[in-house]
Amino acid sequence: MLVRDFPDVTHPLSAILDHFAVARDPRGLGNEDQVPAVIEELERLVLSSAFIFVVDSQRERIEAGCEQLQLLRTDLGRRAIDLDKLPVVFQLNKRDLPNVCPAADLQEIFKTDCCRYVESTAARGQGVVEAFEMVLTMLGK
């Protein structure tokens, strides 16, 4: 999830939100038809002022989350953008499930130089608004 910060936005919750909707396979695209969509999403990605990175807290999904975070770092790095210099809220999702990693462990795995954390159960709407409010606070809105 991306948050774009536009100077003409007056109400903090009216910030323009984008979903990084293109699912990426860390081993490659696999489908040449996706290339234009991926390029378009990457161009929108570099305009972002902050990020909400949704972490699937289930133990079996941690490795995939790490791969996605590394892809984000790589994609931004190719455009000379350092993720560690941008506000990031890690939304630790699916906290209601029995097989989740402790939040403290996730905070050691998923981190940047400028980040905060929100525990959530998105299916119930818990923690979602808080993640947006936190990233807006980090942006000074």
Phi, psi (degrees; rounded to nearest 5) at 17: -110, 140
pLDDT in tens, 98-138: 999 999 999 999 999 999 999 999 889 899 999 989 988 99
Report the percent of the chain where pLDDT is more than 90: 45
What confidence tens digit (pLDDT) does each residue in 3-16 have? 444 333 333 333 33
* Domains, the chain: 2-138 (3.40.50.300)
* pTM of the full structure: 0.73
What's the average model confidence in pLDDT over 32-61? 76
pLDDT at residue number 23: 38
**Which pair of tokens denotes residue 81?**
């953008």
pLDDT computed for residue 45 by the predictor: 67
Mean pLDDT of 56-84: 91
The confidence score (pLDDT) of residue 1 equals 46
